[in-house]
Structure 1
């Protein structure tokens, strides 16, 4: 059985970070009930669309059930409290203070159901001077330091191409929820989890943090090369960019053999990783004098034979096609989404089969079913 079979998740979140968190829980068997306002989650109206269905919404809310509740309506609020009494997990990403004003804050619901794992995802956390500030992924990327180290040295700070701050907060949220469920199995008690997007993004930057700790100066933009290791970056081939990574001397010597320059192994510029990084333009010129004579596909094949890590720069369709044989992608059951790929959590669990087609909940489609299944009402 999937790892979270029998775990009931009440999902009050909307847009991206929270729904991504709960979609990961649904992927491994949790019964996720998506609580939406009467008009539905805003992402139902966010493109791209397939006929009248938001593909974006479908990606983030796969395999959940939907119930529409107006939390300012006393009867609907009572329904939510009834569901919360039977939930194992609640996830919300309101701005701090909003859940309390609605009467569904962590303190109130944990008193109502002490076994509840209550996860709050926000931009800056539930406490601190910035806690009440609104946040979007772009704001968090800018404030986290990652934009300042992304892009070319002579260009502007650049955001990551995906909404990585939202997604990382959701990923940490799912990890924390699973950890809290393990602790609850020992103690019988739930808890309140405080997940901040800014905290999550800062925690990712281990290479930059090590440079800052060692040098006392914030790391700067280095483009597509690695800040402390060479050769480790994107190189020009005859037809397309190709990525090569030789992060230790042994692998670098294999690369020198591959490009026909083994004598450079003892040259002062090439002898150590530190020296190679200090003279990166010279090392790059030597490598590209060879890569420019071959196609990217030839380089990847030859490097593989030599034991040198290499890869092409793929577009998203090529990347999806390359992982499809591992069974970690699937389709959708909804007729409007037929033939489209659903991206699921990527871990292959022992004994698990490939991903089945994902359902996409219509707004409030499971209202009576959820109440009956969870409360017996």
Structure 2
């Protein structure tokens, strides 16, 4: 079945996570993504874990793509890239600002040759501004965006989130921008430059923190497990693991207290209203935790779920990828790799009813599709 983006061609000259993740999102929904790599391969091919010489991480966010290896400083290879761009809808690059221009493939240079081409750029800090030329990874973006400063124990040092959240969010933001530009081109007939950065991705995630700073003028503090405006809303210990409970609304809070056999907390002056509970969250959590730790996870999940209180277990990855809901939603799929055979990968997380996304092929081997790509260019030139 054709995907929603069937017929859309994307040239990806990107590395690491953000740009390639954006291209993967487009590929999952039917776009023909041609990944242009250096002759030695994109850098993420060396990211562990390595299985029989192949990066398992690279395979996760580079599926559904075709690969061609080019030396972009070599005139004939650069000419191949320009031929690919001439027949493409989107050109996506993640060089540090200024590098694409030196290579002859900046937005201005390509827009002059291919006015319908949509050009996507992703960088550490953006294409303009005093820090534009600086290189940046997810770690730097987490720090500079303020995310790190609000993460970690209340009295501890700033913590890095254990996932590359700025990389991932930037890739998602660029996906949205590129699709918006495709829609705009239907009306204008012209491509445009779509650009975002890891820094802006980190900033855009901080809704509560921005509201706090803009209204109070003070820096939002680190809160550990606590929520900035809702209580109780965090992780609670059980006799055999942990459970998350979101009982900020009054009726949820009262139901939680009754199920925990702590009805006296409902009338406690410290916890009567939501703002009271937020102000006294530490005491509230201490009292509730003394109750939750007495029973196993399934006791709380089953019991709270029956009375409508939002809750869920804290799963490890073995539990996660074997959980009936996760399996039912297709979030674990198997794809046949040309070297490794059947391998598991993450499923497509956005479900479309009429034109669903799909995993049609594994991440490519380096230069795997060079022959067919060049043949297509030859046919296009001769037609």
Q: TM-score range by the shorter chain?
A: over 0.9
Deviation track 1:134-172 (CA, whole Å, cap 9, x = no partner) reads 101111111111111111112221111111111111111
Task: Supply the distance in 2 between the matched residues of 1:231 and 1:339 (Cα, whole angstroms).
Answer: 44
1:364 aligns with 2:367: yes
Stretches of structure 1 lacking an aligned partner (at least 5 in a row): none
Task: Supply the distance in 2 between the matched residues of 1:291 and 1:285 (Cα, whole angstroms).
Answer: 10
1:112 deviation in Å? 1.1
The TM-score, its normalising length taken from structure 2, stands at 0.94
1:242 deviation in Å? 1.5
1:195 aligns with 2:196: yes
Stretches of structure 2 lacking an aligned partner (at least 5 in a row): none
Give 3-state SS (helix, strand or coil) of 1:332's partner: strand
**C-alpha distance 324-254 of structure 1, shift in aligned 2 (>3 A):** same
Q: Contact 2:29 / 2:357 at 8 angstroms: preserved in 1? A: no
Could you say which residue in structure 2 is the equivalent of 1:305?
Answer: 306
1:354 deviation in Å? 8.1
Could you say which residue in structure 2 is the equivalent of 1:269?
Answer: 270
Deviation track 1:30-79 (CA, whole Å, cap 9, x = no partner) reads 00000111111112222211112111121121111111111111111111
The TM-score, its normalising length taken from structure 1, stands at 0.96
Could you say which residue in structure 2 is the equivalent of 1:178?
Answer: 179
Root-mean-square deviation (CA), in Å?
A: 1.6
Give 3-state SS (helix, strand or coil) of 1:333's partner: strand
Could you say which residue in structure 1 is the equivalent of 2:128?
Answer: 127
Moved more, 259-268 or 195-204: 259-268
Q: Contact 2:64 / 2:359 at 8 angstroms: preserved in 1? A: no
Task: Supply the distance in 1 between the matched residues of 2:232 and 2:31 (Cα, whole angstroms).
Answer: 44
**C-alpha distance 71-95 of structure 1, shift in aligned 2 (>3 A):** same
Task: Supply the distance in 1 between the matched residues of 2:154 and 2:341 (Cα, whole angstroms).
Answer: 44
Give 3-state SS (helix, strand or coil) of 1:235's partner: strand
Deviation track 1:159-195 (CA, whole Å, cap 9, x = no partner) reads 1111111111111111111111011111111101111
Please show how residues 39-118 of structure 1 align to structure 2 within 5 Å. 39-118=40-119
Task: Supply the distance in 2 between the matched residues of 1:63 and 1:228 (Cα, whole angstroms).
Answer: 41
Deviation track 1:298-344 (CA, whole Å, cap 9, x = no partner) reads 11111101111111111223223331211233122115444532124
Deviation track 1:174-227 (CA, whole Å, cap 9, x = no partner) reads 111111101111111110111111011101000111111222111111111212
Task: Supply the distance in 2 between the matched residues of 1:317 and 1:352 (Cα, whole angstroms).
Answer: 31
